[in-house]
Structure 1
Amino acid sequence: MTINPALAVQTYDKARMAAAPAPADAPARSEAAFGAAIGSFAAGLHQAEVAATRSMVTGADPHALVEALAATELAVETAVSVRNKVVEAYLEILRMPV
């Protein structure tokens, strides 16, 4: 059985790259993405609140109010689902034997 040295070096390089640690900026990118998602959520809630206030005070377009409330409901349901998944994962980690 002959071993091709070039193939062995390529295979070693692929394995080394696969086992390399993640870049140092990976946590910063995920934190930025999470922060952007939270900011988007807060902005959506604020826009719905403004639409509701405008509709109640000035009698603005009721269709815009319904759209804003539907978008807010979807955002809140999504946030609750994410929270439930995080709590579920945390409880699963607590159940792991040490």
Structure 2
Amino acid sequence: MIDQLLSVSTRNALSKLSETVNPASMPGAASPAVATGQPSFDSVLSQVTGKLQNAEAVSLKSMTGDVPTRDVVNAVMDAEKSLQTAIAIRDKIVQAYLEISRMPI
């Protein structure tokens, strides 16, 4: 189920974006995420994927009665919050890309 969220087209789009905009390939330039000490979008996505997988595992364990309902709700809400954050970041990236593409040369 989680793998469906990161479909092949999304992975291809992200890899093309990282190939197109690769600050490490520019001489003397460091990655903005590395320079500011902030996590990259890739690491944020991997964290979101981990939280979604955890929520799914906790939900499945709750069906057998191994996990209390409160833990299931907490895991699902945490995963939803992380997913909404990743979606907001993605939307900002797309918005910035579209803004740059509309700039006259």
Establish whether TM, by shorter chain, passes 0.5. Answer: yes
Greater C-alpha Rg: 1
Q: What range describes the TM-score normalised by the shorter chain of this pair? A: 0.5 to 0.7
**Structure 1 unaligned runs (5+)?**
1-21
Give the CA deviation at 1:23: 5.6
Indicate whether 1:47 and 2:34 are aligned.
no
SS at match of 2:64: helix
Kindly report structure 1 stretches of 4+ aligned residues shifted beyond 2 Å. 26-30, 35-39, 57-60
Superposition RMSD in Å: 2.7
Q: How many equivalent residue pairs?
A: 76
Instruction: Quote the residue 1:70 is aligned against.
Output: 77
- Paired with 1:84 and 1:33, the residues of 2 have a C-alpha distance of 17
Give the CA deviation at 1:69: 0.9
- Paired with 1:62 and 1:89, the residues of 2 have a C-alpha distance of 41
Matched-pair identity in %: 32
Between Structure 1 and Structure 2, the one with more helix by share is 1
The residue correspondences of 1:10-89 to structure 2 (distance < 5 A) are: 26-27=30-31, 29=34, 33-34=39-40, 35-58=42-65, 60-89=67-96
**Structure 2 unaligned runs (5+)?**
1-26
- Paired with 1:70 and 1:90, the residues of 2 have a C-alpha distance of 30
